Amino acid sequence: MIKPFRIDIPQADLDDLTDRLSRTRWPNEVAGAGWDYGFPLARLKELAEFWRTGYDWRAQEAELNKLPHFTTEIDGQDIHFVHVRCAKPDALALVLTHGWPGSFLEFLDVIEPLSRDFHLVIPSIPGYGFSGPTHERGWDIVRVARAWAELMRRLGYERYGAQGGDFGAGISLALGAVAPEQVVGVHVNYLPTRPDPDAGVELSDTDEARLDKVRQLMANRPPYQALQATTPQTLGYALTDSPVGQLAWIAERFAHWTDPRSTISDERMLTDISLYWLTATAASSARLHRDTPRANLPCPVPVGVAVFAYDITQSVRPLAERMYDIRHWSEFERGGHFAAMEVPELLAEDVRDFFLTA
């Protein structure tokens, strides 16, 4: 039921990517526009040229294949995952879940420090990367969580923790809800807290400032989210046919959602983008926005939260405590939405603190 997996992208697909990049039809740009109208033309041309002539997928592929990859079928869907065992046989297992526009690649830099103390299971969400496109409705975060519970059962883990950011946070919390007897706790680095005038809790000036940012996001729904949550198929045609379209769509998120001091290299970002392109999962990954309800699912297990200063939103603890059993709360002055890539040492240490000492 569980099979070893090796990444081996056909050379024809890589040649096709290079050819398409060489034939990009570029739009014009308003003089001095900067970011006012979207991704700046000069910067995108720079990234596209590096992707075409300087980036080496085969080198990245060889590095990734040093990890133990596997696939299995759950609920009619192929599931790809990396499984790294700790040297301590009785170590707690953790399932680490990425978000959009990330992938299992988000966790590359936390594997070594976390695997000292934990067995690690790092799946690709159905519809993403090597899990391949989904083929039916209904792959929301709860269904993914149920698939993770089955995956952990197949791997022989009776008790385990869950960690994630972005959609990975929602999936991890849902996993705590669908498998509370198995999940010892959930650690997240993304936990939106909505304004609640009936909460009856006193908020600090910092908390109020954070809620103002949430209100702004709610009033001005990000364009990427509106499109992926309403017409992911329509968007998918453009992103699946144009590598520069896929590049701009994801690179813009990295530009806006990271700490300005972020050290994520163009090469690492292009590996993530290449994964979306080479697996043709632009549309299927976007469907998660369409299929997932916006309401929070109650999570009965202990929750740990890491708040990073440059994330899309910062959680408000008094409001979070009304929804979850918060046992651990950390705030960091560095790091953004892709914490595992931006500040892996901070995230790994916080995860360790929660599961081993909280």
Q: Report how far apart, in Å, the C-alpha atoms of 140 and of each of 56, 125, 194, 234 are.
A: 34, 10, 21, 19
Q: For 64-107, what is each residue's pLDDT tens digit?
A: 999 999 999 999 999 999 999 999 999 999 999 999 999 999 99
Q: What is the pLDDT of residue 347?
A: 98
Cα(61)–Cα(221) distance, integer angstroms: 36
Eight-state DSSP code of residue 124: P
**Would the pLDDT of 171 be above 70?**
yes
| CA 256 from centroid of its chain's CA atoms | 15
Phi/psi for 62 (5° steps) reads -60, -40
Q: Confidence class of residue 216 from pLDDT cuts 50, 70 and 90? A: confident
| CA 336 from centroid of its chain's CA atoms | 12
**Would the pLDDT of 217 be above 80?**
no
Cα(50)–Cα(55) distance, integer angstroms: 6
Cα(305)–Cα(169) distance, integer angstroms: 10
Q: Confidence class of residue 196 from pLDDT cuts 50, 70 and 90? A: confident
**Would the pLDDT of 130 be above 90?**
yes
Q: pTM score, two decimals?
A: 0.96
Residue 84 burial by Cβ neighbours in a 10 Å radius (0-12, 13-18, 19+): middle
Find the mean pLDDT for residues 303-325. Answer: 94
